[in-house]
Amino acid sequence: MITSGFIGTVKENGALNLYDGKLRLMASDGSFEDFAYDRYTEFIGEHIEPWSYLKFPYAKKRGAFSLEDNAPGLYRANTLARINVCDFIDTPLAQTELEEFRRKFGRPAQLTLLYHWARLIELLYNAENTIRLLDDKDITSLETRVKVTPRAARGVGCTEAPRGTLIHDYETDADGMLTNMNLIVGTTHNNAPINLSVTQAAKSLIHDGKYDQGVLNTVEMAIRAYDPCLSCATHRLDGKMSVKLDIFDAKGSLLDTLAN
- Contact assessment for residue 35 and residue 43, using Cβ atoms and an 8 Å cutoff: yes
User: pLDDT tens track of the chain, all 260 residues?
Assistant: 899 999 999 999 999 999 999 999 999 999 999 999 999 999 999 999 888 889 999 999 998 999 999 999 999 999 999 999 999 999 999 999 999 999 999 999 999 999 999 999 999 999 999 999 988 888 888 888 888 899 999 999 999 999 999 999 999 999 999 999 999 999 999 999 999 999 999 989 888 888 888 888 888 999 999 999 888 787 766 656 566 778 888 999 998 887 66
Digit-coded pLDDT (tens) for 218-252: 889 999 999 998 887 877 666 565 667 788 889 99
What pTM, to 2 d.p., does this model score? Answer: 0.86
Question: CB atoms < 10 A from the CB of 239, how many?
Answer: 5
Identify residue 109 by its one-letter amino acid code: A
Rg (CA), the chain: 21
Digit-coded pLDDT (tens) for 148-163: 899 999 999 999 999 9
- Contact assessment for residue 225 and residue 116, using Cβ atoms and an 8 Å cutoff: yes
**Could you tell me which residues come within 8 angstroms of residue 96 by beta carbon, excluding any fewer than 6 positions away?**
none
